Structure 1
Amino acid sequence: MVDKTDAKTAMEELSMMLIYLSHFTERDTMADPNSKYAWKGYDFDVLNLLDEKDYIRQGSHRSKSMYITKEGEAKAKELMEKYNVVDW
């Protein structure tokens, strides 16, 4: 039997996975092609929590995208393993 996950934890974990799965890279010649970004279309409280945990960096509140940190990428991959989701 699988342990139940409370709604708050599920929102945080599932948002982190979706942020990672929907990421893109900047195509600018000055940008690092390994840097991963995602659009900020998620619950603000969840984004703030993920930012506090250093999984993402939101930048200014006016920016429409966020940066996924190496810690965030590792966490997303760990969660994908937990939820049995295959990476691209």
Structure 2
Amino acid sequence: MPSAMNINTDTVDEVVLALLYLTLHDQNRAWKGHDWDVMNRLYERGLIRDPVNKTKSVVLTDKGLGESERLFNQYFVGAGGMGK
């Protein structure tokens, strides 16, 4: 990422959390193939459990699971509930 860019990390974090909802499995696990800085911020905010381990997925906390679903609907679900 170019250093001259002024990145809104709050929005990046929200979108990644929403994308974690898209890959949700086993009730509260999601594939963690996202930027490590973002994953660490989500962990620090109590939305996911510690992402530093050998598994390819991360566990969302109850708070993170609810917020992930809300953000997924906010960013990716159309007004009629169906995508384009």
> TM-score, normalised to structure 1's length?
0.68
* Higher relative contact order (CA closer than 8 Å, sequence separation 6+): 2
SS for the counterpart of 2:66 is helix
Paired positions, count: 73
SS for the counterpart of 1:83 is helix
CA distance in 1, matches of 2:73, 2:56: 28
The residue number in structure 1 matching 2:3 is: none
Give the counterpart of 2:69 among 58, 63, 77. 77
The residue number in structure 2 matching 1:9 is: 10
Report deviation, 1:57. 0.9
Does residue 45 (structure 1) correspond to residue 46 (structure 2)? The answer is: no
SS for the counterpart of 1:41 is coil
Does residue 66 (structure 1) correspond to residue 58 (structure 2)? The answer is: yes
What amino acid sits opposite 2:24 in the alignment? H
SS for the counterpart of 2:25 is coil
SS for the counterpart of 2:46 is coil
SS for the counterpart of 2:55 is coil
The residue number in structure 2 matching 1:3 is: none
CA distance in 2, matches of 1:52, 1:65: 17
- Structure 1 segments, 4+ long, off by >3 Å, are none
Report deviation, 1:24. 0.7
What amino acid sits opposite 1:10 in the alignment? T
Report deviation, 1:75. 1.0
- Tell me how large the CA RMSD over aligned residues is: 2.2
SS for the counterpart of 1:57 is coil
